Amino acid sequence: GEQRGRTIGFPTLNLHLGAAIRPALGVYAVRVGIMKTNEIIWHDGVANVGSRPTFGGDDIILEAHIIDFSDNLYGNRITVSLIEFIRPEKKFDGLKSLRAQISVDTELARNILNAEPR
């Protein structure tokens, strides 16, 4: 990606969906699976599926932020499981309001995932 998430404190994995079936555009509580030595290690996260309207994007991608995670994942095989829809995608008037909403979304995702069995 363009590493914008990293600059506002929410680094993301950017996954282009290609010809995959696309879910409703918006924000989701997710579980992110990282393949490590023939097993998948699951982590809680929050993801946006959409075009990134705040930045004038036009292609639909999935951007997933893993909660409380800081390792470098370049070159790893990743899978994302959508657990619950949080809200529709929307355009923000700047980085400050976007960052504030991502904080709210992350806490909502954390609460949803804490209540959801693994």
Mean pLDDT of 7-12: 68
Residue 59's pLDDT is what?
Answer: 83
Asked if pLDDT for residue 4 goes beyond 70, the answer is no
Asked if pLDDT for residue 30 goes beyond 70, the answer is yes
Residue 5's pLDDT is what?
Answer: 52
Pair 89, 48: CB distance under 8 Å? yes
Residue 48's pLDDT is what?
Answer: 93
Mean pLDDT of 49-67: 84
- Using DSSP, state whether 83 is helix, strand or coil: strand
Residue 106's pLDDT is what?
Answer: 96
- Using DSSP, state whether 76 is helix, strand or coil: coil
Residue 71's pLDDT is what?
Answer: 87
Residue 67's pLDDT is what?
Answer: 95
Residue 2's pLDDT is what?
Answer: 53
In angstroms, how far is CA 28 from the centroid of its own chain? 7
In the structure encoding, which two tokens stand for residue 77, read together? Answer: 């095989």
Mean pLDDT of 93-104: 90
